Structure 1
Amino acid sequence: MDLSQHPDAAAWGRLQPRSPLVRRLLAHNPSPFTYTGTGTFVVGTGTVAVIDPGPADPDHIAALLAALEGETVSHIVITHTHMDHSPAAPAVQAATGARIVGCAPLVLSDDGPRADAGFDASYAPDQVLADGDSIAGPGWTLTAVATPGHTSNHLCFALAEEKALFTGDHVMGWSTTVVAPPDGDMAAYMASLKKLLDRDDVIYHPTHGDPVSDPQRFVRGLITHRKQRETQILKQLAEGPRTIPAMVAVMYAMVDPRLHPAAGRSVLAHLIDLAARGTVSAAGDSWSLT
């Protein structure tokens, strides 16, 4: 679809309320991978935390700083270091003096199909948060929830006061998450999804897409979807060896072809997981059942 005609287009560059404690500013970086753009979240009022400040886009940074004029930014919180999430952090820190906290630094070469999914080499946190670590401000508390899979350093953040979870790219409100080896790990991703089922969150705020208002049901659906993809792979391999592009052409026939290279990375992640379980093996570019 033409994302310029999406209702979210009116939200680009505008800080809009999501709840009493949550506001969102949408970056103007729509794409087949980011949907209508990267959502930068502001938590609290007066003294606030900024979650995922977004890409190094001067217009987005200027809009964020203008929207927060008169308020104090105490923390800049990072879920993971892909290029559409964290690169604005140094500029926001320079303007506000806020501390950069969140995931651990992670810089890998990226040979994948997504320019926005390269790793941010500029990311330099003042504090790395581990699972269960919290930061707080007046009337709000954010607690890190380690959710590796999409990336090995991925964190979600729980807002206790609203039983809300900022899910970064671990759970998105418009599409399934790309899990791209070598850093993306399907076994870790599935374990992280199951971890969320044990929580009592009542709403998710993904960085891309709409809020998720029935999170446990939504996560169960994501787990089912991944299991269905695994079944599709095994069904194809039961007919003989296959390359990843050949499998993607069948499995994602109804998906925008621009997304097929990224889908191939997720298929690879499934195959690596299946190989670790002794179910499949690779010979050159082809995969087969063991």
Structure 2
Amino acid sequence: MGGVPDDRLPGWVTLVRAPNPGVMTLDGTNTWILRAPGAADAVVVDPGPDDAGHLRAVAAAGPVGTVLVTHGHPDHVDGLAAFLELTGARLDTSARLTAGGVEIERLPAPGHTADSVCFLARVGDERVVLTGDTILGRGSTVVTHPDGDLGAYLDSLELLAAYPVPGLPGHGPVLADCAAAARAYRAHRRERLAQVERALAAGATTPQAVVELVYADVDRALWPAAEQTVRAQLAYLGRAA
């Protein structure tokens, strides 16, 4: 699979989407390639699953010197070792770096997972934020309790609300405005918390019972993920999960 065209992307950003669509991965994992005009090599963010065809498609974008990852979930990093071997690139965990002609700052963003990070990338006056699974291109993300933490997640959304620039998510389409998306996500989480409190007041005594009340309008295939988030919500509210 080659690059996915999107007229909202700066010219130095390319998307290669992995062929792993599903209820949790939406259209598939987004692998992002960053390379400023004239740069000798590229930066790859989230190599994706261990799919040989996908990894070859990403490598075909040109020499890759640096790899970054947003978090350790398999759909983002299972192909990491094979990709590093394929390209000879190095995994970088620096707080700040310049690679592929792109200035990059790591933004710690725990919540979805404890190890989640985002990246602020800049070429000239153009900036984007790579949001990983902290903010998706559509729908909402799961807080993977107990590794994920809702309080930390709300703080991470507040951080991202300071960046009114395009957002490049781990799944789904490009976000026109990362800050607006972060504010919407925060409002959604606050509303869900209110719904959970109402469910508890109505007599729900288990995470499963809360899911049935609060997420009744959500595809049942997503209920296991919703239960993880409910457990995170209950922990945030100081209620036994």
What TM-score does the superposition give when structure 2 sets the normalisation length?
A: 0.92
Cα separation, 2, equivalents of 1:218 and 1:73: 30
The corresponding residue for 2:207 is 244
Q: Deviations over 1:117-143 (max 9, x none)?
A: xxxxxxxxxxx33xxx21213531111
Cα separation, 2, equivalents of 1:170 and 1:83: 15
| SS of equivalent residue, structure 2 residue 147 | coil
The corresponding residue for 1:3 is none
The corresponding residue for 1:188 is 152
Cα separation, 1, equivalents of 2:153 and 2:48: 23
Cα separation, 2, equivalents of 1:261 and 1:216: 29
Q: Give the direction of change, closer, same or farther, for the CA distance of 1:64–1:200 in structure 2 (3 Å limit).
A: closer
Of 218, 233, 240 in structure 1, the residue corresponding to residue 181 of structure 2 is 218
Q: Which runs of 5+ in 2 are unaligned?
A: none
Q: Report deviation, 1:259.
A: 0.3
Written as runs of structure 1 = structure 2, the 5 A alignment for 1:261-280 is 261-275=224-238
Q: Report deviation, 1:200.
A: 3.2
The letter for the 2-side match of 1:263 is: A
More displaced stretch, 27-36 vs 247-256:
247-256
The corresponding residue for 1:235 is 198
| Equivalent pair of 2:66/2:99 in contact (CA under 8 Å) | no
The corresponding residue for 1:64 is 58
| Equivalent pair of 1:163/1:201 in contact (CA under 8 Å) | no
Q: State the percentage of identical aligned residues.
A: 35
| Equivalent pair of 1:76/1:98 in contact (CA under 8 Å) | yes
Q: Report deviation, 1:62.
A: 2.1
Cα separation, 1, equivalents of 2:211 and 2:52: 37
The corresponding residue for 1:73 is 64
| Equivalent pair of 1:165/1:201 in contact (CA under 8 Å) | no
Q: Report deviation, 1:241.
A: 4.4
Cα separation, 2, equivalents of 1:212 and 1:206: 7
Q: Report deviation, 1:246.
A: 1.4
Of 118, 131, 136 in structure 1, the residue corresponding to residue 98 of structure 2 is 136
Are positions 1:152 and 2:146 aligned together?
Answer: no
Q: Deviations over 1:152-185 (max 9, x none)?
A: 1111011122220000000101121100211110
Cα separation, 1, equivalents of 2:163 and 2:200: 39
| SS of equivalent residue, structure 1 residue 49 | strand
Q: Deviations over 1:99-134 (max 9, x none)?
A: 112xxxxxxxxxxxxxxxxxxxxxxxxxx33xxx21
Cα separation, 1, equivalents of 2:229 and 2:51: 28
The corresponding residue for 1:15 is 3
Written as runs of structure 1 = structure 2, the 5 A alignment for 1:36-185 is 36-45=27-36, 46-65=40-59, 67-68=60-61, 71-101=62-92, 128-129=93-94, 133-161=95-123, 162-185=126-149
| Equivalent pair of 1:55/1:83 in contact (CA under 8 Å) | yes
The corresponding residue for 1:35 is 26
- For the pair shown, which has the larger CA radius of gyration, 1 or 2? 1
State the structure with bigger RCO (CA 8 A, min sep 6), 1 or 2.
2
| SS of equivalent residue, structure 1 residue 153 | coil
CA RMSD between the two structures: 1.5
Cα separation, 1, equivalents of 2:195 and 2:63: 50
Q: Report deviation, 1:215.
A: 2.2
What TM-score does the superposition give when structure 1 sets the normalisation length?
A: 0.77
| Equivalent pair of 2:65/2:100 in contact (CA under 8 Å) | no
| SS of equivalent residue, structure 1 residue 160 | strand
Q: Give the direction of change, closer, same or farther, for the CA distance of 1:40–1:26 in structure 2 (3 Å limit).
A: same
Q: Report deviation, 1:249.
A: 1.1
The corresponding residue for 2:172 is 209
